[in-house]
Amino acid sequence: MLSRTTRSTDGVAISYSVSGAADTALVLIHGGLADRSFWDGQHEPFADRFRVIAPDLAGHGESGRNREKWGIAEFAHDVLAAIDAERVSRAVFVGNSLGGVVAIEAALLAGTRATGVIGVDTFQDLSRRIDPQWANEQADAWGRDFAGTLDRMLGALFHPDAAPSLVAGVRRRMARTPGEVVAAMFRSFAGYDTGASARQLRVPVRCINGDLWATDTQANREVVADFDAVILPHTGHFPMLERPDEFNRRLAELVLPPKS
């Protein structure tokens, strides 16, 4: 696994990891406050069949923080910068949490290079429009009490019996994200319409979700006809960390052709 750096359209430095040398890329997009290390368990299992690319979105991990305008569209350009730097000709975009909508936007930017979008504990409701009041209240909460807001969020992202070491490790990594980045990021979400973007996709959309929140498969098919969902029982918000072997098996089923 190699570490490389490129620049997004606004000049912000974007760090990313890459494994493999295949023509088709598996592009792994982390969620808010996370970083590309959340996908470390996917490089080795998939690098023999894909070029595995995992960027740090701006403000996260090792990527730059000197961004003037924050938003989902800007994060999508961070992803596109990485695949452009690697001269990717085909890509499956895989996004966890916030990374799911970033994957949608990145796939739209990639045009005919995109071959699929896979959400990971996201896309429970593809028609969702982010309420501006909620987004601003969240931004205020992060700006006012970062540690407390992080703890409350984590309490909702895992089942009560999740391994304490796992939760602590996730918290440690997420706590590195600057509070001002998180507040600006949440404020930028106001009014974002997932459905408006998802309806423009011309590729299959899938998700591998935990069971903390219900996924409405039938309603999602009203937005994207070629949609399907895999639900992992007793799994929280980070299936790739909580159940890595099963997650990798399910992801392989979605991205690899069946054996003849």
Tens-digit pLDDT profile for residues 88-139: 999 999 999 999 999 999 999 999 999 999 999 999 999 999 999 999 999 9
Helices 164-174 and 146-157 meet at what angle, rounded to 10?
A: 140
What would the pLDDT profile of 41-52 be if each residue is shown by its tens digit?
A: 999 999 999 999
What would the pLDDT profile of 128-187 be if each residue is shown by its tens digit?
A: 999 999 999 999 999 999 999 999 999 999 999 999 999 999 999 999 999 999 999 999
* Domain ranges across the chain: 2-129+192-255
Percent of the chain with pLDDT over 70: 98
Residue 224 has pLDDT above 80, yes or no: yes
Domain 2-129+192-255, architecture per CATH: 3-Layer(aba) Sandwich (3.40)
Residue found under tokens 């570490």: 3
- Write the Ramachandran bin of 58: left for phi over 0, alpha for psi from -120 to 50, otherwise beta: beta
Residue 258 has pLDDT above 70, yes or no: no
Residue 208 has pLDDT above 60, yes or no: yes
Calpha distance 30→76 (Å, rounded): 12
Which pLDDT value is given to residue 256? 81
Mean pLDDT value across the chain: 96
